A and B are shown apart, each in its own frame.
Chain A
Amino acid sequence: MRTLGIAKKTLIGIVVAIIIIAVIAGVVASLYLAPAPGKKKLTFALLVSNLGNPYFVMLKDGAEAAVKELKAKGIEVELIVYDAKDDPDLQVRQIEEAIAKKVDALLINPVHKEAILPAVRDAVKAGIIVITTDRDIADKSLRVFFTGTDNVYGAELAVKALIEALEKSGKPKPWKIVILHGIPGTTAAEDRKKGFHNVLDPLVKKGDVKIVAEEIAYFRRDKGLEVMESILARTKEIDAVICANDEMALGAIQAIEGAGLVPGKDIIVVGYDAIPDAVEAVKAGKMYATIAQSPFLQGYWAVMGAYYIVVKGWKPPKDFIPTPVVVVTKANVGTFSEEVAKPKPLPGAPSE
């Protein structure tokens, strides 16, 4: 059988190739893993998902601010910053490198909650403290704590801001509200959905609010536009739109204007994330409010937490430390960015 012969040859070829690659990998790895010279100072590795995004730059700034503060207290700390450029493979390699450098703690802002798990496991085995920030990993037993936004809480604040605006506007009850959700199944979308309903459901029961439409617009501006257009075709009697992110909210605003209505007056729109476009829209009065997270504190608290754990043997009281969120409206639109970029003490931290 000729084909079988070829198959055999292919198999042998593949096996040989695998062996060669394994040998090379082994040599390279052993070089890397060679013991580093002894050291006394602390080394933390901050693994950021994507420094191309201003949001994560703020996270890095927060971490660096914490390091500076520690240094000012005379503590020797070094922070190595890695940028994974949203590439899970690259992040895995960076984790491996950090392990090889025998850092004391990994502060990970994961690109992917599953893909990096094996590397994280290796780190834990090597006795390295792992802390996650902004996004969590799938296996929560691997990290000591996670610090990030509590999306449920943020969403609750967003709706509360909306209700407040409706009350101020003097629109007659029941207020007719449209909700636009994000990509189903993502943590952010699910948490924000929960937050919206936590506040709205009792009001619906009371008869103060009527949810006229609840649709999915996939966190996207173009979908936000199209979905909102169709909703407006159904009824123009809408008092407010609450969206699980700003992109959808901006799309909805576009649709509202296209229908000849005035966003902010006829229909009140609230978004989430405080992206630059949305902040502009708040300034212009088209969007009533959006929610700003605090990446700065996520970085800051990660470093502080790592320091307390490694040096003082601190045990965090809870394994989720939510960072504060700020409701951005016209009132604080000029100042909120400083507000969320100020160091705050880590909740539950041991006294000095």
Chain B
Amino acid sequence: MGGRSNRSSHQATEILKAFWQHEVSKPFIAFLGLFIVSAVLSPAFLTPYNQRVLALQTAPLALLAFGESMIILMGSIDLSPGSTMALAGTVAAITFVHYKQPLAIAFLAGIAIGALVGFINGLLVTKAKIPSFVATLAALVAGRGMVLILTGGQPIVGLRAFGVLTMDIGPLPTMVWLMFFFTVLNFFLLTYTRWGRYIYAIGGNEEAVRCSGINADLIKLMTFTLAGCYYAIAGLMMDARLEVAYPWTGWGAELDAIASSVLGGIQLTGGVGSPIGPFFGAYVLTLITNVLILMGVNPFYQWVVKGIVLVVAAIALTRGLRYVK
């Protein structure tokens, strides 16, 4: 190791070491690195407008990633985020437009439907004992089907009022504040509460959790339900952004949600990862797309570059592990 000339530099290395040991350090560094590179490569990157756009685009994905990461932390997987968000967005829009309910009721209806989808996923996993991959795949397919049936494949218009989510409060739009709020909430939930602890424990060793006399099924059920609520909020955000309930919202978003979680340092085997990592994951994913457009890279090359950046980021994250699956 380097020379220890005096005590303060020694202390600094200790702090640095402690930081490096922390789970969120790698996603954070990946984020920071890409951020700096982007700022250098494109003068448009740091403009307030672009940062605002990035935050707006990240918000729904971050919510999806928070839900997804909880499920992955439990050692399961959720393929339903995209469909659930679309379904929640649709139901909220129908409640608001067709049933002429107040905005608050419409939002609640959307969140409730998200919770219901999550709850059903949870039941399928815990009671019917269907592996989460299959159970949520069913939700992915059936959920989209419901959206298409409810909308007839056409967007539901007349959601001007959903603009409360895109309207500015102080310097930032409501939904960006919401994203920060949920980042903090998610951090608290997973770090400081019993529920969060159990989520990590189930992912780490479900057998041990069960043997300890903890009702693991209940925890799973609750977690799937909460994840459903998160997806629903993402759906409301997309409604507000487009001012319509668009039936193809979130098509393929499950992959983005999983990628955000993994880029955020959540291990797919469960039990390991920082609760705020997925935020950085979601931001990085959005940032890559954004900066490639800013630089005017040919769309086909964008795919290649994205792939390479993902691999590099993933390598940075998995360094030091003996093997991964």
Q: Do A and B bind each other?
A: yes
Chain A interfacial positions (CB closer than 8 Å to B): 52-53, 181, 184, 213-216, 220-222, 225-227, 229-235, 247, 250-251, 254, 258-259, 275-277, 280
Known: A233-B294, A234-B293. A53 touches B56 (CB 8 A): no
How distant is B238 from chain A, measured CB to nearest CB, in Å?
6
**Residues from 132 to 187 in B contacting A, C-beta threshold 8 Å:** 152-155, 157, 166
**Which residues of the partner chain B approach A229 to less than 8 Å between Cβ atoms?**
53, 56-57
**Which residues of the partner chain A approach B152 to less than 8 Å between Cβ atoms?**
52
Known: A226-B57, A229-B53. A234 touches B241 (CB 8 A): no
Known: A222-B246, A229-B57. A259 touches B293 (CB 8 A): no
Any A CB within 8 A of the CB of B249: yes
A215–B153 touching, CB < 8 Å: no
Chain B interfacial positions (CB closer than 8 Å to A): 42, 44-45, 47, 49-50, 53, 56-57, 152-155, 157, 166, 238, 241-244, 246, 248-249, 251, 289-290, 293-294, 296, 299-300
A53–B153 touching, CB < 8 Å: yes
How distant is A145 from chain B, measured CB to nearest CB, in Å?
29
B299–A234 touching, CB < 8 Å: no
How distant is A96 from chain B, measured CB to nearest CB, in Å?
25
10 new A-B pairs (CB below 8 Å) besides A234-B296, A275-B154? A213-B296, A230-B293, A231-B293, A233-B45, A234-B44, A247-B246, A254-B243, A277-B154, A277-B244, A280-B157
- The residue in chain A whose Cβ has the minimal distance to the Cβ of B251 is A220
B241–A233 touching, CB < 8 Å: no
The docked-state distance in angstroms from the alpha carbon of A216 to that of B246 is 19
How distant is B229 from chain A, measured CB to nearest CB, in Å?
21
A225–B242 touching, CB < 8 Å: yes
- The residue in chain B whose Cβ has the minimal distance to the Cβ of A229 is B53
How distant is A351 from chain B, measured CB to nearest CB, in Å?
42
B293–A235 touching, CB < 8 Å: no
Which of A53, A233, A258, A280 gathers most chain B CB within 10 Å? A233
B44–A220 touching, CB < 8 Å: no
B293–A216 touching, CB < 8 Å: no
Known: A225-B242, A229-B57, A259-B49. A216 touches B153 (CB 8 A): no
- The residue in chain A whose Cβ has the minimal distance to the Cβ of B47 is A233
The docked-state distance in angstroms from the alpha carbon of A214 to that of B242 is 22
Known: A52-B153, A276-B154. A213 touches B242 (CB 8 A): no
B248–A233 touching, CB < 8 Å: no
